[in-house]
Amino acid sequence: MTRGTETRRLHKAVLEWYAANGRDLAFRRTCDPWAILVSEVIAQQTQAARAAEAWERFIEAFPKPAALAAVSPGTVIRAWRGLGYNRRAVALRAAAIRIVEDHEGLVPDTLEALAALPGVGPYTARAVLAFAFDRRVAPLDTNIRRVLDRAMGPLPTASKALQSTADGLVPPDAAADWAHALMDLGATVCVARAPRCDACPIRTWCRIGQAGMASSMEMAFPRATGSRRSPAFPTTTRWLRGRILDRLRDAPDGAWVTFDAALGAHSTERVAGALGRLAAEGMIEQHEADPPRFRLQTV
């Protein structure tokens, strides 16, 4: 059997499995490039089902790049509530402005132009190309890497060679479904620990499954191990930033809020430091005449 025939059989097995078992996520029902770009930015640090819910609300409020470009950073941060990593909201607004100013309000369809947008890295750019434009490129997230490495690997470690190998496996005219299918395989079947090889549509091709190694192995990109423990979440800077922004979101639009006391386990000095960093990032602004007062950025 030729390599081309074997590859086509692999494609058929994966795509048929996806048609029967793929996750029904809201943002998979569109091929609108802006809607897909928004979904990818939301999903960067957010669990898939939660991201899909938030995406529906966000895209209803900002259905086109021009709608997002026209509002203040504070408005976007209010709409981003509950998604965390709020810098993504500011970057997405900056990307919308760039799309309006440089691309006539249309999401660009080249890797270079997409990757040049604020907050859009190589993965997100390829995801938009695959999901919106059905280009034969492979967005490589952790799940896709794990599936490909176990089944087809070992994959090259150099990033360019890895990307080229993954791109070469994308079937013609099915780039979006192929990427979605591999993501779902990695999320539901070919999981990092104790993968469900009996339910895998590509176990015939899988070097790890065929060798009987999967049940005892970690994913190909193991997490760091050690005895060092992460700090309790309320003591982290992320928690503090989130509480500051939530207090500002709860205030009436444009209202100033005074921060002159500790927040949780964080001293007034740490609160002041976090406020200064948020202001430097363009997310909040400080009252000129009354420094302890802040509000969400209005311009």
Is 161 inside any structural domain?
yes
Confirm whether 40 is a catalytic residue: yes
Structure tokens at 135: 């280009």
Could you read off the pLDDT of 123-133 as tens digits, one per residue? 999 999 999 99
CATH for 104: 1.10.340.30
Could you read off the pLDDT of 152-179 as tens digits, one per residue? 777 787 888 989 999 999 999 899 999 9
The pTM is what?
0.86
Using alpha carbons, select from 75, 48, 74, 44 the residue that is nearest to residue 62.
75
Whether residue 189 has pLDDT greater than 90: yes
CATH for 202: 1.10.1670.10
Is 228 inside any structural domain?
no
Of the three residues 186, 216, 246, the one that is the final residue of a domain is: 216
Is 223 inside any structural domain?
no
Average pLDDT of the chain is: 89
More confident residue, 118 or 215: 118
DSSP 191: -
Could you read off the pLDDT of 245-268 as tens digits, one per residue? 999 999 998 899 999 999 999 999
From 6, 16, 40, 281, active-site residue: 40
Question: What is residue 136's predicted lDDT score, i.e. its pLDDT?
Answer: 95
Q: If you average pLDDT over residues 12-18, what whole number do you get?
A: 96
What's the domain range around 59? 32-133
Is 246 inside any structural domain?
yes
pLDDT over 70, % of the chain: 92
Q: Based on the domain organization, do 144 and 126 belong to the same domain? A: no
Is 224 inside any structural domain?
no
Q: Based on the domain organization, do 85 and 115 belong to the same domain? A: yes
- The DSSP line for 100-163 is HHHSTTS---SHHHHHTSTT--HHHHHHHHHHHH--S-----HHHHHHHHHHH-SPPSSHHHHH
The answer to which of 115-119, 155-159, 222-226 has the lowest mean pLDDT is 222-226
Q: Based on the domain organization, do 36 and 126 belong to the same domain? A: yes
Is 286 inside any structural domain?
yes
Q: Hey, which bits of the chain come out as E strands? A: 257-258, 284-286, 293-296
- Looking at the structure of the chain, the number of domains it has is 3
